Structure 1
Amino acid sequence: MTSCHFFGNEGEAIPEDVEELVIHPLVQAIPDEACRGRFERLTRVNFNHGGSAALRTIGKFAFLKCVSLLEIEIPPSVTTIGEGAFMSCQSLTVVRFVKDGSSSSSSSSSSSSSLTTIGEKAFANCRSLTDDISIPSGVETIREHAFAWCPCLARVFFHEGLKIIDSGAFNECVKLEKVNIPRSLEMLGSYAFRGCTSVQEVNIQEGNLREIRSQTFEECVKLEAITISSTVERVGSNAFRDCHSLRVVKFHNGLRSVEDGAFYLCTNLQSVALPGSVESIGRMAFEGCPKLVSIELGDGPRDMKIYGLAFSECVSLANICLPSASTTTKTTTNESSHSNSFSHCTELQNQYGDSIPLALTRRFENFPIHKKVYHASVTTPVELSREIESSVQSSEGNIHKDRLVDPFGMTPFHILLSAANCRLDLLQILLDSYSPRVLGWKDYVNEKTAIEYLIQQSDHLTTDNSRLILQVALEGWLIRSIASWNGLEAWKADMSNRVNVIVAEDGANQRQSLLQEASMALSRYERMEATTLLELSLWKMELNSADAQTPAENEARRATVKKEAYHIRSGASVVIPNVIAILYCDLLL
């Protein structure tokens, strides 16, 4: 058994039982297949003996199937790692890229490496590779399948300067948790991260990337959210297919096409906002997304093509408006001729039958407030306020008569709370403009209230205040109470009826159940009363503050506050951001 041997001694054969191989300081290239599968005992290769800077290239399949090799340190002089150089080194756990002046390097310290290319399958099928991989900043290209089928690889760090991540580069790295794409990247190859079943977060920075190719993130089953940068013009076929945990997708203006099956079977996808630049939505692009409620398409007439089965079997889809010039194109395959873009969209078909595309192009034709709220991503609070003011004036002060519901029976609250961009500032304007009981109205198709849409779309609430609103809504008492409350007399009548039912009940078990329900109802009413008293005290403070003004101003101020006091909506700007937080904390105790 030979423990150590120099590679590069002229005319000298290397024993096959060697355990450590030292690369001669004058060697500039390790030839193709130099140690391919012949050294089963080889555990270590010293590439940087004596600090030599001579080595430039590690050839194709140079250490293929060296099954006992444990770790390697690539010296800073190396510019190219060839195809399959360390492929199927089953025991390899650590790969470090050494910087100048150091014998080793941490995973994040690789800035002075000369490496520019990591070859095809260079580290593929290294099934024990567990250490963090930091790609040196000089690397411009990671070739096809370079790190594919490395099931223990959890973290990879990319640096600015990287231009190409080729097809399948990290295919089926099942423990990879996070992907950060640098601004410099120009090409992200097909199925580059397919089957990375532990990836939960993907960040694509604004930069040079123009497309996400086919199957890039297919079967990333734990991926929950993705933001597509504004430079991306195309999302390729099956790019996010079978991403079952994907709930939120954010696009930017500049996107032109979403191709066939791009989000096929994303079973938790709830809403999508596509910018006005989109020209086509491919076959089966969103097919089989049963929780998809809302599709927001950019405003304005244009020639958008929506191909067959694009939204097929989106059984919950109830909030969509097509550009007026869009067309639906039936399939050209062997599927039956009646297959179309909205096949088996139950909620849409219940409302419109077979005329869905035509009806959707006209949906907001006479509903300007709905339209402003639907396009929340580009609507400003000032624009919405002006539209509401205009509607009030046109309906002689009664906003409820001015087209409060659209053809789906959805109020602006329904539209906003099921939209891809649920904005709290616009929600506040609606709360200040509409009676709170509108929150309890149900739409025609799904028979859901606006609050039920809010709960269903919970992942779109990103601010602390809106999270609190959602949590209180989930408790189920506040909004239902606001929607149905008619004052103290209603409380008394309800509790009186409950007591009468309890007295009339003979069964002990049933009586106990009724007592519990009554107790819960009383507790809810106490919370409501506390909220109301707080609002009244705030209004009283407003009245008192007017006392220092002139009599005329005082009277006008009193009249204004009294008018506001008739509507719970008038306290929304105070209660929502401040009081709910207190009540919510009380609920948790």
Structure 2
Amino acid sequence: MAISFVIASAPAGTASAVPADYQSPDGVYSYVTGGAGTPGDPYRCDITAFAGKEGAVRIQSALEGYPLRTITSLEGCRSSSLVVPQTVTSIGQGAFSGCKNLESILFLGDRPSGNLPGNVSISVLQGASGWEEGTARTEIRTHGSNGSFFSYYVAGGEAHVLGPVSGVDFSIPSADSVGNRFVSISAEAFRGSGAKTVAVAEGVREIGVRAFYECLSLVSAELPDSMRDIRDEAFRYCPSLGNVDLRNVETIGFETFRDCKSFTHIIIPDSVRRAEGGCFYICTNVSCVKVGRGLDRVSERMFGFCTSMESVEFAVKPVSVGNYAFNNCRALEGIDISGADYLGRNAFFGCEKLADVKLSPRLQSIGDQAFAECRSLTTVKISDSLKTLGSHVFFNCICLTDIHFNGPMPETAPDFLFGTQNVKVHIQCVHKESWKAFEGDTVIEGDCETSFSCGHLHLAIVLAFILAGTLWLYIRHRSHM
């Protein structure tokens, strides 16, 4: 019989007709996706609403791996100022009508198709094409030294890096020659460039979406204490990049360090409050991971395919482990997830050396194939809190001999042991009736004749006191006759 399993794929995303929401540091984007991921039909997304923050917002150039091409609507937007990325090629009719506080828009690229609002100030970067005559232009400036120069623009007295002009070793200062403070490296800024090193000075707070995407020669990135947000895919596929110091960073975006194959360890400081899906996906040379106190969840695919990872330490035990979180972490030998109520599907798929797993006494759900292909597991103990157990959970766990269930039979797929033979399922005598539908090899534990619950014990004690009191009253009554 041919058995196939769905594994998280390497492309940026998977085409879907289902609308999605994405929580970014700026607010919640609602969007739909399109494209087949081919040269003639590339992946893309379309924003349909944006429940964003007040003030200035730089709209993301991609959402969860899908390049932004169209803004159909920003309904819910509360921002007074927007920066639209150069990836946008189309604007929907009335796209900005829901932005009640909007005063200005800066476009970083060529003129997109569609009508623009007439009641806000619109400006574009110098050199952008297709714009109407008289449209306000924002100057593109250059800065650098020792043969390495980059471009930038200034808005509201703050400078934002646009990308390289020449050279390979870049130093982003705190301010330019006239005192404009550098605060961000824009989305797509150095994407695909030959940059080898980047040193970012104090004051810069954000690295934008795909800012260093596919910088194959990048070996070093020095970040300042002021750095707070590293956005989606910022350093994706930088295979030569060495370990990055993340001190004081608060947000690590979707697939931020995916395919950073020269990382040897990962230290997530206490300051990090959000680490999005796949943020360290396919970091194949990482041997150890330490997660700080700011995170209490392991996001989807967070450490998937970190094939050399031997250990992971949590300062705070996670309350959930997402889908594919440790998928194919083949060197991982043990893990303490004794605080997790939820284990997603394929959470530990292919962790072939995993022998020691500490599960939570509050664990409620184990997803499909969560421990499939964990070939070193011998014994698993599951508490009485478990409510759902997915399909093929222990598929091909060839060394598994015993599973201990402390509670009644959960809502379970009948094939949770599919592909694994000679496993004894230990169940408590008091719950044996609930396991009647299970057709596997069971071992009944506990004394069925004398087993009773704490509630029964309390009742017995109460009855004993009542009986003793009644007897005392009877004796007292007899003594007065």
Q: Does 1:33 align with 2:164?
A: no
Distance (whole Å) between structure 2 residues aligned to residue 374 and residue 171 of structure 1: 48
Distance (whole Å) between structure 1 residues aligned to residue 397 and residue 313 of structure 2: 22
Task: Tell me which residue corresponds to 1:299.
Answer: 429
Letter in 2 for 1:74: L
Letter in 2 for 1:29: S
Q: CA RMSD in A?
A: 2.9
> CA shift at 1:18, angstroms?
1.4
> CA shift at 1:172, angstroms?
0.7
Distance (whole Å) between structure 1 residues aligned to residue 245 and residue 305 of structure 2: 22
Please give the secondary structure, in 2, of the residue aligned with 1:133.
strand
Q: 1:375 to 1:133 in 2, by over 3 A?
A: farther
Give deviations 1:542-571, integer Å, cap 9, x for gaps: xxxxxxxxxxxxxxxxxxxxxxxxxxxxxx
> CA shift at 1:198, angstroms?
0.8
Q: 1:125 to 1:157 in 2, by over 3 A?
A: same
Q: Does 1:256 align with 2:405?
A: no
Distance (whole Å) between structure 1 residues aligned to residue 332 and residue 295 of structure 2: 21
Distance (whole Å) between structure 2 residues aligned to residue 374 and residue 197 of structure 1: 45
Task: Tell me which residue corresponds to 2:356.
Answer: 225
Give deviations 1:359-409, integer Å, cap 9, x for gaps: x7xx96xxxxx7449999x9xxxxxxxxxxxxxxxxxxxxxxxxxxxxxxx
Q: Does 1:199 align with 2:332?
A: yes
> CA shift at 1:14, angstroms?
5.9
Give deviations 1:7-54, integer Å, cap 9, x for gaps: 6476998655412111121211111101111x21x2211112xxx2x2
* TM-score, length basis structure 1: 0.47
Letter in 1 for 2:290: F
| Residue pairs, 1:110-189, within 5 angstroms | 113=248, 115-130=249-264, 132-183=265-316, 185-189=318-322
Structure 1 or 2: larger helix share?
1
> CA shift at 1:280, angstroms?
2.6
Letter in 1 for 2:221: I
Task: Tell me which residue corresponds to 1:61.
Answer: 210
Distance (whole Å) between structure 2 residues aligned to residue 233 and residue 290 of structure 1: 25
Is 1:253–1:276's contact at 8 Å kept on the other side of the alignment?
yes
| Residue pairs, 1:91-490, within 5 angstroms | 91-98=240-247, 113=248, 115-130=249-264, 132-183=265-316, 185-206=318-339, 209-292=340-423, 294-301=424-431, 323-328=432-437, 342=439, 371-372=446-447
Distance (whole Å) between structure 2 residues aligned to residue 325 and residue 6 of structure 1: 68
Distance (whole Å) between structure 1 residues aligned to residue 292 and residue 335 of structure 2: 15
Task: Tell me which residue corresponds to 1:529.
Answer: none
Unaligned runs of 5+ in 1: 99-112, 302-322, 329-340, 349-359, 365-369, 379-589
Give deviations 1:175-213, integer Å, cap 9, x for gaps: 01113344353332100110111111111143xx32001
Q: 1:91 to 1:145 in 2, by over 3 A?
A: same
Task: Tell me which residue corresponds to 1:82.
Answer: 231
Give deviations 1:449-505, integer Å, cap 9, x for gaps: xxxxxxxxxxxxxxxxxxxxxxxxxxxxxxxxxxxxxxxxxxxxxxxxxxxxxxxxx
Distance (whole Å) between structure 2 residues aligned to residue 278 and residue 324 of structure 1: 9
Distance (whole Å) between structure 2 residues aligned to residue 223 and residue 374 of structure 1: 38
Is 1:87–1:124's contact at 8 Å kept on the other side of the alignment?
yes
Distance (whole Å) between structure 2 residues aligned to residue 281 and residue 15 of structure 1: 56
Task: Tell me which residue corresponds to 1:46.
Answer: 199
Letter in 2 for 1:159: G
Q: 1:117 to 1:235 in 2, by over 3 A?
A: same
**Percentage of matched positions with identical amino acids:** 24
Structure 1 or 2: larger strand share?
2
Q: 1:142 to 1:13 in 2, by over 3 A?
A: closer
Q: 1:13 to 1:147 in 2, by over 3 A?
A: closer
> CA shift at 1:248, angstroms?
2.1
Letter in 1 for 2:183: Q
Q: 1:6 to 1:242 in 2, by over 3 A?
A: same
Please give the secondary structure, in 2, of the residue aligned with 1:94.
coil
Unaligned runs of 5+ in 2: 1-144, 175-180, 454-481
Distance (whole Å) between structure 1 residues aligned to residue 352 and residue 317 of structure 2: 27
Please give the secondary structure, in 2, of the residue aligned with 1:324.
helix
Q: 1:224 to 1:375 in 2, by over 3 A?
A: farther
Q: 1:62 to 1:275 in 2, by over 3 A?
A: same
Letter in 1 for 2:207: I
Task: Tell me which residue corresponds to 1:532.
Answer: none
Task: Tell me which residue corresponds to 2:222.
Answer: 73
Q: Does 1:20 align with 2:165?
A: no
Question: Larger radius of gyration, structure 1 or 2?
Answer: 1
Give deviations 1:77-127, integer Å, cap 9, x for gaps: 2221111100011211221124xxxxxxxxxxxxxx1x2211011000112
Letter in 2 for 1:126: C
* TM-score, length basis structure 2: 0.57
Letter in 1 for 2:222: E
Q: 1:143 to 1:171 in 2, by over 3 A?
A: same
Is 1:197–1:221's contact at 8 Å kept on the other side of the alignment?
yes
Letter in 2 for 1:219: G
**Number of positions where the alignment pairs a residue of Structure 1 with one of Structure 2:** 297
Give deviations 1:249-301, integer Å, cap 9, x for gaps: 22233222222111121111011111115423323111222242x21113324
